[in-house]
Amino acid sequence: MSADGLRKVREQIESGQFALTPDAQRAVLARTGDLIDAVEAAGQALSSVPLQTLPEAAAKIVYLFYLSGHGWRRLLAASAESASAGAAIHAALQASISLLMPQLAHALATRTTSLVKRGNAAWSLTCAVCDGDAVTFTRTRTGPQAPEQLVTTSLSPVTEFRSITGPRMSDLIALLEAGDVPTLVRHMMETQPAGCDAWCATCSRVYCRAHTAIEAQWSGSWHEATYATCPLGHERVIE
């Protein structure tokens, strides 16, 4: 199985090779077990991927990226012992992922993002994995006398909606009506402070929240950054 490297590291941790404190050892063993389960679940899902099971397989890969994300790596870096264990876990995990990612890349090769109009005043960019709504755009008002605005959704758990008004709204609506996804996304990246955070520039695709690993980093009450990783492992800062 592709998780054999992680199993070997788990055995080394259990034997005390990394000299972790008891609490740290329990935490690292638990997370390593979670990673093993996630790798095996992803491998099983990818072993036979017709179109209807691709969303499940991609979601399992995304969960794997979330488990091994910035917060976990920061915790492991707290001491030399846990950092050493973390390096071993990371190397084993990368070896496992290297067996899985070509399968997922092949399954996604023909998948694209579409722009769909939803009625008279709404549009959506669809997820390349599941065809669900990844980014929605809704033309609305907060009240009868309020100015019109275009509300867009975000992958960020900190800022879930953003409002666009004035000339920038008019420009964006014209692009939405034209239906050209690359031009729309490029315009958003150039004119909107948050760009289009569901867009993976490396893949040239949009992914929904279910098929993106989202991790907000905090220092106390201070928000440091939010990271997004697509199903193929391309990470970007979205906030």
Parse the chain into domains and list their residue ranges. 4-108, 115-237
Residue 197 has pLDDT above 90, yes or no: yes
Assess whether pLDDT exceeds 90 at residue 61. yes
| Both tokens assigned to 113 | 């993002």
The per-residue pLDDT for range 90-118, each reduced to its tens digit, is 999 999 999 899 999 999 999 999 999 99
CB count within 10 Å of CB 161 equals 11
Cα–Cα distance for residue pair 215/168, rounded to 1 Å? 29
Provide the 3-class DSSP secondary structure of residue 147. Answer: coil
Q: What is the mean pLDDT of residues 152-179?
A: 92
Spell out the residues 6+ positions from residue 84 whose beta carbon is closer than 8 angstroms to its own.
18
Task: Tell me what pLDDT residue 144 has.
Answer: 82
d(CA 120, CA 139): 9
| Main-chain phi, psi angles of 215, to 5 degrees | -140, 115
Tens of pLDDT, residues 205-234: 999 999 999 999 888 888 889 999 999 999
